[in-house]
């Protein structure tokens, strides 16, 4: 079965906009679309070794059939590859293969491939078009929208990057079948976050269809991913450079990022966000802005999907507080949080007392 649905993202003023096309088992359709929209272009298919082994040659064959010239460039899977060394290796391969300004870089993979590929596309020959085929759930709902591309620097994650929008994004939910279980739930945490800040109906639908989610039902995932992308797209369109409304997306991330850094990025991002949402909900409850029933409902669904809600015992709570003080939302070291005032009711710029943060952290062990 091949289904195809579209979401359009346009930034005002209309400098650039792109479609996110969703479908199920539609690699052939994707190749046909690219041929129609970008005739006479050469394609560099960038993919990590895991994804490349499963999908890259299938995609290349679909391009070959349409007489579109493409090469596959693969790199070792993992965050370590978001480096200037890997970036240079990939650029060298592109140059050696005669790739020039008429090249399209197609990132086929998870967030690492999208971030790295997008950053290469932003600077290769002063910028070449970039197409994304996200293959992990996290990349489908998160990194494919917003145009943030980056590599890491030895001194920190995502320190070197740009805002660079793709020309097109294609999401094939059938690819999620091969995604490792940990990576699947890693992405689901961000979908739950999106529902909690903006869309009560989506959250209720997640609860109602939790078995379909665990079973990775193609039909339900198509709907779920489409809704999640639509919401994130709407938020990002209103605030491309992250000043106001986009802060909503930081829900769960103030505490989540601190845990991520303090555990040396050994816990997947979505898992840290899950712990972060739970702690931040305790803060909101203690401030009297979130009801206990809502707190419980969220806590239960996170645990249903085996998402962590407790802070690992090895982390010192004062260290978390120190990281919160230097979070980008803090002003003069006063912590500001994005909290929820109910399900689907995200609220930005909440100043929170440090004692209250420590209390909530203490209750999250
Ligand atoms: P992110 O979680 O940001 O998407 P990665 O790009 O590192 O991070 O992807 C997570 C892991 O999942 C990587 O090891 C990658 O190779 C693997 N992966 C991504 N998509 C798929 C897929 N559809 N099938 C199998 N493995 C995949
Ligand atoms: Zn996130």
Query: Could you tell me the pLDDT band of residue 1, with boundaries at 50, 70 and 90?
Result: very low
- Give me 152's structure tokens: 């890491």
Mean pLDDT of 104-133: 97
pLDDT at 60 exceeding the cut of 60? yes
Active site residue 242: yes
* 288 CB-near residues (< 8 Å, 6+ apart): none
Q: Is 44 helix (H, G, I), strand (E, B) or coil?
A: strand
Per-residue pLDDT reduced to its tens digit, 186-213: 999 999 999 999 999 999 999 999 999 9
137-180 residue pLDDT tens: 999 999 889 899 999 999 988 999 999 999 999 999 999 999 99
Does ligand 1 lie within 6 Å of residue 104's CB atom?
no
Delimit the domains of the chain by residue range.
5-178, 181-363
pTM for the predicted model, two decimal places: 0.94
Query: φ and ψ at 261, to 5 degrees?
Result: -70, -45
150 close to ligand 1 (CB < 6 Angstrom) = no
Q: What is the CATH number that goes with domain 5-178? A: 3.40.50.1970
Ligand 1 atom closest to 114 (CA): 6
Q: Are 220 and 241 in contact (CB under 8 A)?
A: no
13-22, 76-85, 208-217, 316-325: which range is least confident on average? 13-22
Answer yes or no: are the C-beta atoms of 311 and 326 closer than 8 Å. Answer: no
Report pLDDT digits (tens) over 332-354: 888 999 999 999 999 999 999 99
Q: Is the pLDDT of residue 73 over 60?
A: yes
Residue 11 banded pLDDT, cuts 50, 70, 90: low
66 tagged catalytic: no
Is the pLDDT reported for residue 311 higher than 90? yes
Residue 134 to residue 272: CA distance in whole angstroms: 21
Q: How far is the CA of 164 from the centre of ligand 1 (A)?
A: 21
Ligand nearest to the CA of 277: 2
**Tokens for 237?**
């369109």
The finding on whether 186 has its CB within 6 A of some atom of ligand 1 is: yes
* CB 113 near ligand 1, within 6 Å: yes
Query: In this structure, are residues 77 and 49 in contact, taking their beta carbons and an 8 Å threshold?
Result: yes
Q: Which CATH architecture has domain 181-363?
A: Up-down Bundle (1.20)
Task: Given the residues 60, 87, 148, 247, select the one marked as catalytic.
Answer: 148
Q: Is 69 a catalytic residue?
A: no
Q: Out of 60, 193, 247, 269, which one is annotated catalytic?
A: 269
Closest by CA position to 134, among listed 272, 227, 23, 38? 23
The per-residue pLDDT for range 30-59, each reduced to its tens digit, is 999 999 999 888 999 999 999 999 999 999
CA atoms within 13 A on the CB side of 245: 14
Can 36 be counted among the known catalytic residues?
no
Site to probe by mutation for ligand 1, drawn from 27, 47, 50, 274 as the one with most ligand atoms within 8 Å of Cβ, is 50
Pair of tokens at residue 346: 């995200």
Query: In the annotation, is 126 catalytic?
Result: yes
**What is the rounded CA–CA span in Å between residue 350 and residue 126?**
41
């Amino acid at each position: 079965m091949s289904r195809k649905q579209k979401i359009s993202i346009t930034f005002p003023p209309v400098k650039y906009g792109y479609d996110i096309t969703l479908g199920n088992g539609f690699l052939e359709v994707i190749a046909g679309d690219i041929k129609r929209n970008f005739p006479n272009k050469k394609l560099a298919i960038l993919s990590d070794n895991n994804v490349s082994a499963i999908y890259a040659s299938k995609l290349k064959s679909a391009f070959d059939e349409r007489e579109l010239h493409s090469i596959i460039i693969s790199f070792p899977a993992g965050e370590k590859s978001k480096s200037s060394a890997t970036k240079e290796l990939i650029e060298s391969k592109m140059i050696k293969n005669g790739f020039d300004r008429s090249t399209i870089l197609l990132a086929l993979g998870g967030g690492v491939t999208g971030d790295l590929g997008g950053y290469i596309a932003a600077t290769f020959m002063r910028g070449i078009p970039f197409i994304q085929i996200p293959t992990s759930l996290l990349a489908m709902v998160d990194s494919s929208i917003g145009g943030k591309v980056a590599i890491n620097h030895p001194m920190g994650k995502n320190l070197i990057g740009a805002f660079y929008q793709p020309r097109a994004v294609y999401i094939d939910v059938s690819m999620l079948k091969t995604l490792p279980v940990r990576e699947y739930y890693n992405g689901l945490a961000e979908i739950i976050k999106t529902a909690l800040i903006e869309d009560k109906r989506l959250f209720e639908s997640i609860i109602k269809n939790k078995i379909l989610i665990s079973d990775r039902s193609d039909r339900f995932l198509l709907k779920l991913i489409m809704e999640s992308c639509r919401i994130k797209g709407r938020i990002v369109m209103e605030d491309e450079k992250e000043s106001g409304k986009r802060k909503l997306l930081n829900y769960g991330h103030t505490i989540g990022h601190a845990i991520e850094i303090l555990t040396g990025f050994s816990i997947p991002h979505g898992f840290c966000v899950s712990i972060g949402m739970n702690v931040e909900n305790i803060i909101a409850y203690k401030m009297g802005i979130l009801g206990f029933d809502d707190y419980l409902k969220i806590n239960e669904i996170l645990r249903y999907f085996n998402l962590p809600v407790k802070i690992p015992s090895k982390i010192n709570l004062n260290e978390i507080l120190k990281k919160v003080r230097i979070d980008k939302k803090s002003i003069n070291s006063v912590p500001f949080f994005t909290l929820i005032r109910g399900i689907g009711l995200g609220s930005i710029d909440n100043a929170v007392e440090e004692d209250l943060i420590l209390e909530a952290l203490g209750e999250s062990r």
